[in-house]
Amino acid sequence: MTAPTHQVDFEPIGKRVDVPAGVTLLEAARQAGIGLASVCGGEGTCGRCRVAVMAGQVSPPVDADRRFLSQLELNAGQRLACRAHVQSDVKLHVPKASLVTDQRLQVGGLTRQLAVEAAVRACAVEVPAPTLRDLRSDLDRVTEALDTAFGLRRVAAEPAIVRQLSPLARQTDWHLTAYVRGARGRDPELVGFAAPGRRAAGLAVDLGTTKIAGYLVDLESGEELAAAGLMNPQIGYGEDVISRLVHASRSPEGARELARVVHEALDNLAGTLAEQAGVAREQIAEACIVGNTAMHHLLLGLPTRQLAVAPFVASASAAVDVKARDLGLNLAPGAYVHVPPCVGGFVGADHVAMVLASDLDRADRVAVGVDIGTNTEIVLCKPGANYLTSASCASGPAFEGAHIRDGMRAATGAIEAVRITAGGVQLKTIGDAPAVGICGSGIVDALAELRRAGLMNERGRLDRGAPGVRPNEHGPEFVLAPASQTGTGREVVVTQGDVNEIQLAKGAIQTGIGILLEATETPPEAVDEVIIAGAFGSYLNLDSALDIGLLPRLPRARYSQVGNAAGVGAKAILLSLKERSRAQHIARRTGYIELTTFPGFQRRFAFSMLFPAPAVATPARD
């Protein structure tokens, strides 16, 4: 009798593995090719292999767990992976600190030159110390000094600012840096103080469904001081936005939990960036966070039930300024977070930021912008038009490796490029390490190569009699890497089910682009440029994307990859009040099409899942 097996799901890595009942989580990680830290070799004496059990059953805690984990941590599901044995299907959260190697996260993008005019200004003031003849309050002294030196009248300050002011002023002999918001406009407000010479910093964040990219910038010069990325911990509650919205709508506790985990992640990110830049947290005087409409609602704790069902209506879409501390961010005591406006449906502030960064709202050409991710946003603009047209499609997590048998996110050992030749299969892995799985760019490459080599037909069916294709119980599969060449001792394959997952994702994107063209009466040959944004889009092989129909072949279009344009846009909105106003203008003049209500949607979608015949010509690109 065959021993039962259970699936172990490692999040936010996105790797899944089937293992026999009774093996440890550490052994499951090794079989999956995941480098969990284990200095003691799995003896339970180092405490480095901590994981959190999100769902499923493992063996009860033992003495080694209690030695390194508090009762509160154990109650929250934390365990040492080397001491916990699998008893059912399990979903785990793996903290970054428990990994030997990090995942590759795209934080860079096109650069922009702009005149810095941030919402917060650092004002150096020298204030006379109090005496028995001068008994003005500490705050009155500072506000009068700001009025005298900078013409700032009636500067407001809340108690949190005063609590910081009094001890700091005496430590610095009344030489202070005051961070004033609205210093160039009406109603100036003190948001923090620092020692002399401490310039104000700002935090810009692209809050993606799967990945979070953060940037620390100087609010005076615009210089980028540090950049870092991490996985969105909400993945543990669902890999796509609808799953998370459903979780949030089930109970107030579910919504609060989703908000809490992302607040903690953002606060940790702020701390990491501040440490990298050698900046005190109190110097971070302003933040800007962009994300799609679902991320926006979960971040702000807005109602989500109505967003998860047709007609997918937002609770609020206007730009909002909220105190950073209300989102769990430990920045300057009075710092604000600016959240730019959303457009409609699931087209959110991240799309507005991408349009701004790519100058699509100022286009002198017919252009299509595609921000590819778990949720893909598309926009079409025409020169001289007073509007832009947008849509969103649920491309799903397949491009992040989810729902792919050997899929994983972009980490060391992930296959990221594939070539099939007469001599066999040639692979490129991240870090040039032995293959342990395949990430999104690799699976797109693999399908394109299968199509080019004639091993897969236009309907996505693998040729059962072709070299390298073999049957299994769920249908044919193609072997990319034999067990002897992998880092796990397990084969890496592309299954028929994997092909079907990519068909759904690429069909959704191609359908969205096609409907935007038809709805705006734009012939395909009229499109001059296609801009591909997003972390996945940065590493995508354009030839492969075109050959499988992930992107349509538009006869005159130039294709360009611009990296994390949403993050670049977030920085611009943070650094410039003019760009902040421009973002609001973009949102107001961007129309939204709900794809599923467009005539012939289902027929279009079915047709878009077919694979085109590979083209010989290579597309023009930047």
- pLDDT (tens digit per residue) in 22-53: 999 988 987 887 777 765 667 788 777 889 99
Query: Taking 50 as the threshold, does the pLDDT of residue 618 lie above it?
Result: no
Tally DSSP H helices, then E strands, for the chain: 16, 26
64: left (phi over 0), alpha (psi -120 to 50) or beta: alpha
Q: In what order do the strands lie in the sheet with 388-393?
A: 558-561, 529-533, 367-371, 376-381, 388-393, 590-592
**CATH code for 120-194?**
3.10.20.880
Where do we find the tokens 């846009």? 569
Compute CA 296 distance to the chain's CA centroid, rounded to the nearest angstrom: 12
Query: Taking 90 as the threshold, does the pLDDT of residue 465 lie above it?
Result: no
Task: Write down the pLDDT at residue 110.
Answer: 58
Confidence of residue 616 (pLDDT cuts 50, 70, 90): low
Beta bridge mates, 93: 11, 52
**CATH code for 201-339?**
3.30.420.480
Beta bridge mates, 426: 419
Q: What six digits make up the tokens of 114?
A: 């702009």
Of 220, 242, 2, the C-alpha closest to 116 is 220
- The fraction of the chain above a pLDDT of 90, given in percent, is 65
Q: Are 205 and 287 in contact (CB under 8 A)?
A: yes
Task: Write down the pLDDT at residue 107.
Answer: 54
Query: Taking 60 as the threshold, does the pLDDT of residue 617 lie above it?
Result: no
DSSP E strands: which ranges in 168-276?
175-181, 189-194, 201-207, 211-218, 224-231
pLDDT digit string (tens) for 340-384? 999 988 899 999 999 999 999 998 899 999 999 888 999 999 987
Task: Write down the pLDDT at residue 111.
Answer: 59
Rounded to the nearest 5°, which phi and psi values hold at 611? -95, 125
DSSP E strands: which ranges in 41-108?
50-55, 78-80, 90-93
Longest dimension (CA), the chain: 98
pLDDT digit string (tens) for 105-138? 545 555 567 889 999 999 999 999 999 998 999 9
Q: How far, in Å, CA of 151 to CA of 147, rounded? A: 4
Task: Write down the pLDDT at residue 103.
Answer: 54
Three-state SS at 131: strand
Task: Write down the pLDDT at residue 15.
Answer: 80
Stretch(es) of the chain classified as CATH 3.30.420.480: 201-339
Class of domain 5-98: alpha beta
Buried b (16+ CB within 10 A) or exposed e, 134-165: eeeebbebbbebbeeebebeebebeebbbebb
Q: What six digits make up the tokens of 355?
A: 């349009």
Range with lowest mean pLDDT among 200-214, 261-275, 279-293, 301-315:
301-315
Pairing of strands 469-472, 475-481: antiparallel
Stretch(es) of the chain classified as CATH 3.10.20.880: 120-194
> In degrees to the nearest 10, what's the CA dihedral of 226, 229, 233, 234?
100
Q: Are 213 and 230 in contact (CB under 8 A)?
A: no
Range with lowest mean pLDDT among 86-90, 449-453, 473-477, 515-519:
473-477
Q: What six digits make up the tokens of 41?
A: 């070799």
Q: How far is CA 188 from CA 64, 157, 181, 526, in A?
A: 55, 9, 6, 49
Where do we find the tokens 């769902």? 55
Query: Taking 60 as the threshold, does the pLDDT of residue 217 lie above it?
Result: yes
Q: How far, in Å, CA of 328 to CA of 266, rounded? A: 8
Query: Taking 90 as the threshold, does the pLDDT of residue 69 lie above it?
Result: no
Helix (H) or strand (E) holding 396: none
Mean pLDDT of 283-307: 94
Task: Write down the pLDDT at residue 543.
Answer: 93
Residue that wins the pLDDT comparison between 231 and 140: 140
Task: Write down the pLDDT at residue 532.
Answer: 94
Q: Which one-letter amino acid corresponds to residue 98? A: S
Three-state SS at 495: strand
Stretch(es) of the chain classified as CATH 3.10.20.30: 5-98
Residue 47 burial (CB count, 10 A)? 17
Of 430, 619, 598, 405, the C-alpha closest to 514 is 598
